[in-house]
Structure formats: structure tokens, C-alpha cells
Chain A
Amino acid sequence: MDKDINKDNTILISPVTRIEGHAKITIDLGKDGEVTDARFHVNEFRGFEKFCEGRYFTEMPSITPRICGICPVSHSVSSAKACEMIMGIKPTYTGDLLRRLIHLGQMISSHALSFFHLSSPDFILGWDSDPALRNIVGIAQTSPDLALRGIRLRKFGQEISERITGKKIHIMGIVPGGMGSALTEENRKALLGWIAEATETTLMGIDLIKKYHDQNKEMVNSYANFPTLYLGTVGPQGEMELYDGKLRFIDEDGKILQDQIDPKNYLDYIAERSIDWSYLKYPYYKPYGFGKGFYRVGPLARLNVASKMKTPKAQKEFLNFKAINNGKPVHGTFYFHYTRLIEMLSSIEEAERILKDPKITSEDTLMLGKHNFNEGIGSSEAPRGTLFHHYNTDDSGKLTRVNLLIATGQNNPAMNRSVFEVAKQYVHGKNVKEGALNRVEAAIRCYDPCLSCSTHAIGSMPILIEIKDHLGEIVHVLKRG
């Protein structure tokens, strides 16, 4: 990060790095130089919802993965589910199983990159270390084994998609009714061959983050620690579910506000409001209204709302997570990293179980159907949180309205609050050190936001951090790159 103070005594940081997309952070100082407000502005705009109107609904599982190269599977799965509601069909057993498997692969690859490559430089190299080396190359130089393992873990996740569909990103095999391709026995065995290494690497990551927690208790527990509501998908017994389930909202004390809500009814519980300083909307829990109804989604939310995990190793770690706040929700934003790793462990275990299902290599992957209804809603848990696709069609099947409610959008109010909390803690006056601003950036990285997804972004617009004095004048600019 380059620090630059111009003639107007302005501070600029550009770009905020190691997030997916570009945005701007502004930090307002009072007369005493202390932080009075901070905002996370997203400048990107794409308009996917609008230009999909007029397309035939069955094209959507192929179009929407293009929204994002990191979570294309979640878009495709949610889209296919919405189309299945329009057609009035369900996928075949094997088709559903293959979709689950690809979805888990995406969770592994996305979480592996977020933890090992985007966030671990802060823990391993230090918040105040040389920013030129505080990245994956720095990790490769200081901890080559860890970097290699992180790369290979991501590779495993991508390989699941590749071995089923032939493509590792922007996959095309997920279709209404199931899957357009099957898994061969050779590919099944090859994927099973990864399980031991993937498990070992994830457990190493868990060990790493827990040691960091132990050595930095005060920082971890005070870092953007504030109560919110949480939303996640759960199974019938309240178990954490990533692919298909019902919605659960809990309040800041862990009380279940809504449970086993069919995702088709999401609009009864979630509303959105536009704000004038960002292209990212402010969603909220409708019964509590704007402001009081802000909630979080994603790994921290999913583990906060869940009663248990589905797999043994993840369940063991889940109990350790739950013990952090004596069974109550954990509000510390830094714990996103820990929960991300627990989810990755769970995903590897579940992938192994699916790969051992005798029907996984069946060629009965697809149920055919046609246009029967004019509305479809599908949801899944993307790596960053709950994702909804909602389509309306005319009688010919052409889309008349598309609504995509994206995880990063739902975390937007919380990301703003996190930036504010961390800025208050580390920014004092306009002469801010780079390391302090890195901590502000890292609050955003905890959410692993994908701004391309959430705004359906176009173009390349950098993120800045500006610090303003009590008169609204920009008094400090830090610039990177």
C-alpha cells in the first residue's frame, strides 16, 4: 500500500486488496480525530437481473454461473431449482447427488482460497508486515508447504467440477431436472484419492487458526464484535445444510425467530432498501424493520444458526466453536475464518460419503419437464451465504422479472458495521499507519465478499479508503498499486 498525502491533506487507500471486486471505504473523523462513522461503498454495477428479462427461463442455469467465477455452482444450483419449480419437477436421485457433490467442491475451493491465500498472510506474516510481501507469494516464501497445501486443496475442489462436467469454472452441466453429465468410475476413484490429503490440510488450517486465537485472544474477541441476527439453511433436525434445506433466523441471543421456513417464502421475511452511497442494497429481516433487522449470512451465520453438523469430524470442531460463547451466537467477525474451515472439513467429509454412494455413477441423471408455472424460486448456501434466485415468466416461458438476492448483499449492513468498529479501534487521527488500515480492510475480508456477485459488477473500479475530518474534507488518502 502506498501512502500519499496530497495538497488538500487528503488520505487515500487504493485499492483495498485481497477481496473479490472493488470498492471504497470512507472513515469520518470528529473534531478530536476519533472515528465517528465509516462506510463501505461498492461502486460496481452490472445489471444482470435486467438483461436476463426476455430470455427463456431454462437458459438461466447457463447464464447465471457467469455472474461469478468463484461461486458459479451456487448460482447454477439455485437457478436450476427455480426452473424446476416452474416446470413442476424434481431432479433424479443421482442428478441431485452430483449437484450436491459439485456444490461441496465449490465450497472447498472457495474457502481454501479465502483462508490460505487471501487471509492467512495477515495471520502468518503479521498485520504490519511489508505489504509488498503480505500476500500468497509472501506465504510461499515463508511457508511453502502451507502455500502448496492451500493450492492443492483448491485444486481438489475445482477437480470435482472438472471430473463431473469437464469444466472447473463456469460449469455447464447443472440443468433443470438434474445433471447433463454423469460421473465415471475412474473419476469417482480419482476424487476419493484426494480425501485424506484434503482432510489433513483442513485440519492443519484449523490448528493454525486456533493457535492464532489462543495467542491473540484480546484482538480476536474485540475485532468487529457486535450482535446481529443470523440467517442460514438447516436440515429437518437443525443440522447445517449447504445444498438444500429450510431457512432459520436466530436473534443475537440465539433465540430461534423463524425455523423450517421454505425458501420460496423468503420475501415474507427479507426486504431490501437502496442507499444513495452504494450500488449494494441493504437487506433486512422484515419483521424487525430496517436498522433493527440487519442480519448476517455465511459461515459464521450458518454455524451460529445450526444445532449440529452432519459429519463426525466437523461435529467435533463445531462443539469447540459453540463453546466459545457457551452455546450462544459468536458475534466476533474474526471467527468467520474458523467457521469457514469447519465448513470445509464438513464438505470434505460429505463429499467422501457421496462418492461412496453406489448410485453416484448411475447415468440416470436427468428428469425432463416443460413450462408449467409462471414463478420459480430456488436457493442454496453459496460459500458467502444464502443465495436466492426468483423468476417470473409469461405464458411462453420468457422471463418477465428476475430477482437475485446475493449473500454479499445480505452481509452489506454488517460489513459496514464491521468497518466502523475496526476503524474506531485502530484509527486515531489522520496520520494512520498502513497496518491499521490493513486491519480495516481485513474486516471486509472476513466476509470474503464477492462484489462481482452482489452487484453483478461490470468494469474495474478500484476500492479506496478515504479519511474525512469533521468538516467532511478528505484529510488522508492511502494508495496501493
Chain B
Amino acid sequence: MSLNGDKLQNILVIGIGNPLRCDDGVGAYVAEGIEAKGLSGVTVWIVQQLQVEDLERMLEFKRIILVDASISGPSLDFRPIERTAGQVLASSHHLSAETFMSLALSIYHKDLDMHLCSIKGNCFDVGDKLSPQVQEKAQEAVRLICRSLKGDK
């Protein structure tokens, strides 16, 4: 996947998760890795949950890349998020990316361009270290996202 043509402007990378629950912290790990590259036009957030009041600020970006741990699926996946009519997560603790996209369209008439980089976690126990396999995939994710940000294939 390439984000060619954006000239590194207005890209938001959001690392999601709890760094104190082992592999759940992989989103933050990857986000920090991208931030360390110092890429121009790339803003990085690290959050534990996506919350509804974040929506207004997210609208300022052309493209949003979410990085999060998954409990199933491939060990590393990077894909656009589709707005679906699936279950809406309506909790004040957390909103899903799909819900954000629906809200943005209904309230602000803006179709958010969101991508998800998910890394399958192995361990979600208490602890601040990633498991070795997940750390390896996280480093691969940093390279993958940075390549796409630079327009490399």
C-alpha cells in the first residue's frame, strides 16, 4: 500500500493500547518508532482508547493510520478501514474506528480516510515488555508504515 502523493502532509498516526499490558502496548511501540523517524507532516498520538471527543481533531488530517494489537487474524495486517453498518460500540470508554467514520460522515459530512495496522498479540498480561515475536512484527510495521508514508512500495 502506498500513500503516494500526500507529500507527507497531514498524516496522523495513532498508536492505541495499554503499554502496561504486554502486547497490548504494540500500538504505542510502533507509534513511538514512527515518531522517532521525524517524518515531516506526520503527527503521532498515543492513546489507550479512541474517544468520541477526539473526532474533531481527527478531521484536520487527510489520512489517519491506526496501529493496534489484535487478538485474532494475521500476525501483521495493514489495510484501509471500511465504514460498515456493523455493531456500533457505544461506550464512553471506547469507540471503534468504524463508528468514528460513521459519526464523521453524519455530523461533519466528511469521509475519513482511515487505515488500520493490526499486529496480533500473544500476551496481554500485566507487564511492560512486548513478546519477542510481536516486537519483531512491530519493527516490521514501523518499516511498512514509513515506506507507505514516503510513497515507497
In the complex, A110 has a CB within 8 A of chain B: yes
Q: Check if A227 is an interface residue, CB within 8 A of chain B.
A: no
CB distance from A449 to the nearest CB of B (A): 12
Contact pattern, A 160-199, Cβ under 8 Å of B = 1, otherwise 0: 0000000011100000000000000000000000000000
Q: Are B85 and A132 in contact (CB under 8 A)?
A: yes
Give A247 Cβ to nearest chain B Cβ, in Å.
Answer: 27
Q: A113 in the interface, Cβ–Cβ < 8 Å?
A: yes
Report B4-58 residues with CB < 8 Å from chain A CB: 48-49, 51-53, 55-56
B106→A147 contact, CB < 8 A: yes
- Asked if B72 lies at the interface with its beta carbon under 8 angstroms from chain A, I say no
Q: Is the interface of A mostly helix, strand, loop or mixed?
A: helix
A70 near B90 with CB under 8 A, answer no
Instruction: Tell which of B56, B87, B92 touches A117, judged by Cβ atoms closer than 8 Å.
Output: B92
Complex Cα distance, B48 from A108, in Å, reads 21
The number of residues on chain B lying at the interface, defined by a beta carbon within 8 Å of a beta carbon of chain A, is 20
Is the Cβ of B91 less than 8 Å from the Cβ of A151? no
> Which residues on A sit within 8 Å (CB–CB) of B99?
136-137
A109 to B52, CA, bound (A): 11
B92/A114 in contact, CB under 8 A = yes
A110 to B53, CA, bound (A): 12
| Contact B55–A69 (Cβ < 8 Å) | no
B107 and A70: CB pair below 8 A?
no
A170 to B87, alpha carbons, bound, how many Å?
27
Do B106 and A140 touch (CB < 8 A)?
yes
Sample (18) of A-B pairs whose CB atoms are under 8 Å apart: A17-B90, A18-B90, A18-B91, A69-B49, A70-B93, A113-B92, A114-B92, A132-B88, A137-B102, A140-B102, A140-B106, A141-B106, A148-B107, A151-B52, A155-B56, A158-B51, A168-B53, A481-B87
Residues of A within 8 A of B (CB): 17-18, 20, 69-70, 109-110, 113-114, 117-118, 121, 132, 135-138, 140-141, 144, 147-148, 151-152, 154-155, 158, 168-170, 452, 480-481
| 13 extra A-B contacts, CB within 8 A, seeds A118-B91, A137-B102 | A109-B53, A117-B52, A117-B92, A136-B90, A137-B88, A137-B103, A137-B106, A140-B102, A140-B103, A147-B106, A148-B107, A151-B55, A169-B48
Which chain B residues have a beta carbon within 8 Å of chain A's beta carbons?
48-49, 51-53, 55-56, 85, 87-88, 90-93, 99, 102-103, 106-108
